[in-house]
Structure 1
Amino acid sequence: MTKNWTPLAVVYLALSLAGLVGTWTFNLLAIAALRDFFGDWVNSGPAVSSLTVDLLVVAVAGSILIIVEARRLGMKRGWLYVLLSGLTAFAFTFPLFLAMRERALHARRTQAAPAS
């Protein structure tokens, strides 16, 4: 594996890409069908509204985690993951952040290990 890409970081990166492709497939279908994306998102009944609230709460909690953890680890521009989630999908940016976080943690462990 290349520098700092642990197996866990690769899993997070794969999930990130699956989130990007999965969400944008449906976004593009909605755009092509000229659907009212936000209207459909929040007005299609209680089940969709429940899912919306569920995912919104998770996204807010995850966004807070991203900002706090990025600062704790000294990762630059942690806020950018939160901003990008509004342009792409949180299903993309959160696993992407986790992959980059894993790389940062691996780099720290490598630097802290005594040279043999």
Structure 2
Amino acid sequence: MKPKLTWIEVLFLVLAVIGLAATWYYNALFYLEVDDTSIGNFIALTKTTLPAKSINADISVVAITFLIWMVYEARRLQMKHWWLFIPLTFLVALAFSFPLFLFFRERKIRGNAHLSKQT
């Protein structure tokens, strides 16, 4: 039986839901309000102002760092289906995949600790 959720697991899940809702709210507005809704135009619009370029650079470095660390950490912990977080990062949002990965990482660490106490 899986143990109940800890406060940190709940926090990671809440952040994942917020990340999903916040990013997709603006994605929906983009598709409803912009004439050219191609992915090319979406990406081009992220480069229209200096603040947008700054945020784009910031998020790009964070995403690359997360993906490198996530692969390393997931393999180290022998997490199942870790590779799903790679497409989730690009198809949904980093703001969703990162806290969701942290949730599953925390569950794995707690599960491993629980197993080691039994032996």
TM-score by length of 1: 0.90
Distance 1:7 1:53, change over 3 A: same
Runs (4+) of structure 1 moved beyond 4 Å?
none
Which of 56, 61, 84 is the aligned partner of 1:57?
A: 61
In the alignment, what sits opposite 1:40?
Answer: 45
What is the RMSD computed on CA atoms of the aligned residues?
Answer: 1.5
Is 1:102 the counterpart of 2:106? The answer is yes
Distance 1:55 1:3, change over 3 A: same
Q: CA deviation at 1:41?
A: 1.0
Letter in 2 for 1:22: A
Task: Tell me the number of residue pairs that the alignment of Structure 1 and Structure 2 aligns.
Answer: 113
Q: What percent identity do the matched residue pairs reach?
A: 35
**Structure 2 residue runs without a partner (length 5+):** none
**Structure 1 residue runs without a partner (length 5+):** none
Is 1:3 the counterpart of 2:3? The answer is yes
User: Aligned partners of 1:8 and 1:78: how far apart in 2?
Assistant: 20
Deviations 1:34-90 (A, max 9, x none): 253212112x21111011001100010001111111100010121210111111001
Q: Secondary structure at the match of 2:46?
A: helix
Contact in 2 for aligned 1:20/1:91 (Cα 8 Å): yes
